[in-house]
Amino acid sequence: MKKENDKLTFYRPDIATRQEIPVAGSDVKAGFPSPADDFLDLPLDLNRELVRNPASTFFVRVAGDSMTGDGIGNGDLLIVDKSIDPHDGCIAICCLDGEFTVKRLKLESDGVWLLPSNPAYKPIHAGRNNDFRIWGVVRHVIKSFK
């Protein structure tokens, strides 16, 4: 098993700046191709689309591979909302004994299990003797394909 070594870099959203991007007028089919539309729909503002609560939202860049089973990989950008109450099964940004990590939560009466989705990593238990905080719930993952 690998030792946990994920690192996170935090960013605040700049909601003062609007960045509207044209969007195609129809959905893209994942099955059989369909004729393309020759027009663009209304512009899409990614801040409006992805950031529900600007004052409590931040971005985090992932370094590591412990969450690849959930589609979260090295270099991905996560959009995290601190105003959402963490719940059993959610993916969250946590601080455990001074180290940040992203994991799926398993809430129990004696503490919290931080569950990686890559079988090369072991679950981590955060109990009464740990300094543990949940910083926010992951709402979106932004990926780049190389």
Instruction: Out of 34, 103, 106, 143, pick the active-site residue.
Output: 103
Residue 34 annotated in active site? no
Residue 3 annotated in active site? no
CA 143 to chain centre: 10
Q: Regarding beta strands 91-96 and 77-81, do their DSSP bridges make them parallel or antiparallel, or are they unpaired?
A: unpaired
Of the candidates 97, 84, 88, 65, the one whose C-alpha atom is nearest the C-alpha of residue 138 is 84
Instruction: Out of 26, 29, 34, 66, pick the active-site residue.
Output: 66
Report DSSP letters for 35-72, one per residue: PPPSSB-S-EEHHHHH-S-GGGEEEEEEESSTTGGGT-
Instruction: Measure the CA angle with vertex 122, ends 118 and 128; round to 5°.
Output: 130
User: Tokens standing for 93?
Assistant: 């940004």
Query: Which amino acids are annotated catalytic?
Result: 66, 103
